Amino acid sequence: MVGLAVAWRLSRRGYPVELIAPPADDGPSGERSGSAAALGLLMAQVYRRRSGRGWRLRQQSLALWHTWRQQLTQGGHSIPFRPGLLQLAGSTDDLEAQRRLVQQRQSQGLPLRLLDREALQALEPAPPAAALGGVFSAADGQLDPLAAMAALRADGQAAGLQTWPVAVERISRGATDAGDRRWLVHGGDGGHRPYRWLVVCAGLGSAALVEALGHRRPQEPVLGQALELQLPAACDADTWPGSLSWAGINLVPRPGGRLWLGATLEPGDTAHPAPLEDLRRLGGEAPPWLLEATVLQHWQGLRARPVGRPAPLLEALEPGLLLASSHYRNGVLLAPASAAWAAEQIALAEAP
């Protein structure tokens, strides 16, 4: 997602851009990339902090996603978006933190509001009975990651975006007399191509690529499993005011009485049955209608989390070499802000 966002943004600004990546695996099951496996939650205004880098990136990205969706729709590329996010409180401490958050956001002019327990239980189907209340953000929401990536690719290609569909084996520095072609990318097909600028957005593969150039940016994989469920005939989560978040688990309504449920947090790259079962039961608080749902599909993906540094890594490593990686759980949300950062770095360096 981040690589496509950067490529699209630069293409639309008139730069000649080549996207280097192996063909995407958009299959419905098995191990996917973090972007293809993501649920697409945009959690910006419900973010607990009110300042700092993370806050600024989230607010910038949320605003850009709304602008980008309009631009892409005008180009004939629609991205399904479900507005609204309801974050549930499972304890009195959570509830008090939500009250403070709403007060802070309202002082910033952001329209968050609290829902009490009675309002939650009036929803159909009802959320977990243990929920004491919730904070609702109408501006946050959920978009379809696969549709978003397809739209960015298609619209970018209409603007001249080129592709080289290979895995990148390594990056090397060009000859000292190579002029503005200072970087060489070596592809899995045996070829290599020179570039003036490289933006590395290779997820878990980024660390090895830049370490070979002398830049140590370790990352660790965190696996996430997710489910798509068919709800009982009498249930339709489409009537909710938006997606729900409960104790770190996200419930995303889908058309046709379906529901996405995810995702686990499993250090490493191996899936385990126990976290999946805990996810299925919402940590023991699943309402009866959720337990009666039928599993339609199960998938997993790997997130890249930086070691010793806050996510994401947005760094200018050398002249012409940018790193935009390790977004951990927020690659979909933060893709536009990451792309805007990369475009700004290039524009500033290229300015006369």
pLDDT of residue 347: 97
Cβ-Cβ contacts under 8 Å for 331 (sequence gap 6 or more) = 1, 2, 34, 35, 38, 303, 312
Question: Do the Cβ atoms of 19 and 163 come closer than 8 Å?
Answer: yes
Hey, what amino acid is at 34? G
pLDDT of residue 30: 35
- Specify the pTM: 0.94
Peptide bond before 312: cis, by omega within 30 degrees of 0? yes
Q: Is 114 exposed, middle or buried (0-12, 13-18, 19+ CB in 10 A)?
A: middle
Phi, psi at 188, each rounded to 5°: -65, -10
83 forms beta bridges with: 141
pLDDT of residue 273: 97
Question: Do the Cβ atoms of 168 and 291 come closer than 8 Å?
Answer: no
pLDDT of residue 176: 61
Query: Which residue has tokens 């829902």?
Result: 115
CATH of domain 1-82+141-352: 3.50.50.60
pLDDT of residue 26: 39
pLDDT of residue 29: 34
Tokens matching residue 176 = 């000292």
Residues in the chain: 352
pLDDT of residue 32: 53
pLDDT of residue 31: 42
Tokens matching residue 279 = 């996810």
Distances (CA, A) of 274 to 222, 248, 318: 16, 16, 44
Taking the chain (352 residues) in consecutive chunks of 10 residues, what is each chunk's mean pLDDT? Answer: 98 97 55 80 92 94 97 95 97 96 92 95 95 97 96 97 96 74 92 96 96 97 97 93 96 96 96 97 96 96 96 97 97 98 96 88
pLDDT of residue 143: 96
- List strand residue ranges (DSSP E) for the chain, in order: 18-20, 30-33, 41-42, 81-89, 113-116, 133-143, 162-164, 168-173, 183-187, 192-195, 198-200, 219-230, 243-246, 249-254, 258-262, 266-267, 294-306, 313-318, 321-325
